[in-house]
């Protein structure tokens, strides 16, 4: 469960919390949108395997779609994993190559084979956030906070804008429309 999960009567509510895509997987939707643009023709399957007593929404989902600019994609997500994050990954298969970024925190280039491209040596990633019993995503939030402070002080420009964030919210809401249609 996310630290931002809001509970009423011991259960997280979709109207207060938004759902698993908002609390746990919005960064992945954001990366997908940044790389490939908007989506259409959304289809999905959703289930709650391990959190029925904690949430009023799914803990797992499989969503497939078409990109407006061409291509197809899918998102497979779950918080129904015992003990720790299993993997976060993105695989891109194109006409001139393929790339897989994976690892427990999506912090490793596991495969990179692209026509006329040589993979550079990358610096190590930051260690995972340490919340005691739980270790989370790579510790990169400080970069975002620094950018906000530096932008407000006029030392730099913002790295993203509100409209991009709103577009990610709108994509998740369209995915959840498909989930909600299945509940009727």
- What pLDDT sits at residue 127? 79
Mean residue pLDDT of the chain comes to 85
4-13, 64-73, 96-105 — which is least confidently predicted? Answer: 4-13
pTM: 0.81
What number is the average pLDDT over the span 80-101? 90
- What pLDDT sits at residue 142? 79
Structural domains of the chain in order of their starting residue, each with its CATH number: 7-86+126-183 (3.30.360.10)
More confident residue, 113 or 24: 113
DSSP for the chain reads --TT--EETTEE-HHHH--HHHHTSHHHHHHHHHHH--EEEEEEEEE-SS-TTTBSS-SEEEEEEEETTS-EEEEEEES--SSS-----EEEEETTEEEEEETTTT-EEEEEEETT--PPPPPPPPPEEE-SS-EEEES-HHHHHHHHHHHHTTSS--SS-HHHHHHHHHHHHHHHHHHHHHH-
């Amino acid at each position: 469960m996310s630290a931002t999960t809001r509970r009423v009567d011991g259960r997280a509510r979709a109207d207060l919390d938004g759902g698993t895509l908002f609390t746990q997987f919005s960064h992945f939707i954001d990366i997908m949108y940044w790389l490939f643009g908007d989506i259409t023709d959304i289809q999905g399957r959703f289930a709650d395997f391990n959190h029925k007593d904690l949430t009023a929404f799914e803990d797992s989902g499989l969503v497939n779609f078409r990109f407006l600019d061409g291509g197809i994609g899918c998102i497979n997500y779950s918080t129904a994993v015992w003990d720790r994050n299993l993997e976060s990954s993105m695989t891109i298969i194109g006409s001139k190559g393929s790339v897989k970024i994976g690892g427990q925190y999506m912090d490793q280039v596991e495969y990179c084979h692209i026509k006329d491209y040589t993979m550079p040596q990358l610096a190590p990633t930051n260690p995972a956030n340490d919340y005691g019993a739980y270790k989370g995503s790579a510790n990169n939030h400080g970069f975002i906070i620094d950018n906000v402070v530096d932008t407000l002080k006029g030392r730099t420009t913002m790295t993203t804008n509100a409209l991009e964030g709103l577009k990610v919210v709108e994509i998740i809401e369209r995915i959840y429309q498909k989930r909600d249609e299945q509940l009727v």
